Chains A and B, each alone.
Chain A
Amino acid sequence: SQQGEEDPQALSIQEGENATMNCSYKTSINNLQWYRQNSGRGLVHLILIRSNEREKHSGRLRVTLDTSKKSSSLLITASRAADTASYFCATDERDDKIIFGKGTRLHILP
């Protein structure tokens, strides 16, 4: 069962611009996470936001969470070529399982 669903599926922006991707989910959660995956490699944890938090920052990353709309957004400011990757949201489920979305492929153009 897919809990989180990212939007858009793919995004291309110019280097230096901001990138925003969204995640929607279906059931109540305790927390939501964002991960990055460079092509063919393992996922790397970026940030975790708890259900009682509305916004969280980490470097150039800003994550928001709206539990009333069951949605989250990840903003990457001042994008760089190294930000080219796929980004996944992940939500917790019953039985302590983490469910990943299908991801947003981000391409930073030079």
Chain B
Amino acid sequence: DADVTQTPRNRITKTGKRIMLECSQTKGHDRMYWYRQDPGLGLRLIYYSFDVKDINKGEISDGYSVSRQAQAKFSLSLESAIPNQTALYFCATSDFLAGGDTQYFGPGTRLTVL
């Protein structure tokens, strides 16, 4: 079984809809991250969490919110989806006790907003 899983893997939705992307990990890591990837722009950090009670905005948090329901779960919500949020979304984890820098990525969620 994969250590970092994301659901759904693909999603097509309409403008204005609320969407939730979920991430679960079995690695026991304390830190979790959400990134989006657009062609030619690399990965950009949306939100990150260093612990269950810790939530931090990243580079591009506008239009997104997150919830860290448990150490193993970190969900990303688009309250009212818009077409320019069409992208590939990745969840990642890292382990503070191991230095915290090496990140382990999920398989990604491809989101299309029409």
Using CB atoms and an 8 Å cutoff, list the residues of chain A in contact with chain B: 1-2, 30-31, 33, 35, 40-45, 48, 88, 90, 92, 95-103
Contact = CB atoms under 8 A, between A and B. Distances in A.
A1 B43 CA distance: 11
A21 to B, nearest CB: 14
25 contacts: A1-B59, A2-B42, A30-B101, A31-B101, A33-B101, A33-B102, A35-B103, A40-B88, A42-B92, A42-B106, A42-B107, A42-B108, A43-B90, A45-B102, A48-B101, A48-B102, A88-B42, A95-B56, A98-B45, A98-B94, A98-B101, A100-B35, A100-B42, A102-B42, A103-B42
Interface of B: 4, 35, 40-45, 48, 50, 56, 58-59, 88, 90, 92, 94, 100-108, 110
Contacts of A102: 40-42
Contacts of B107: 41-42
A43 B104 CA distance: 8
Contact of A40 (B50, B94, B108): B108
B38 to A, nearest CB: 10
B104 to A, nearest CB: 7
A95 B49 CA distance: 11
A44 to B, nearest CB: 7
A98 B103 contact: yes
A38 to B, nearest CB: 11
Contacts of B110: 40
A7 to B, nearest CB: 13
A28 B13 CA distance: 42
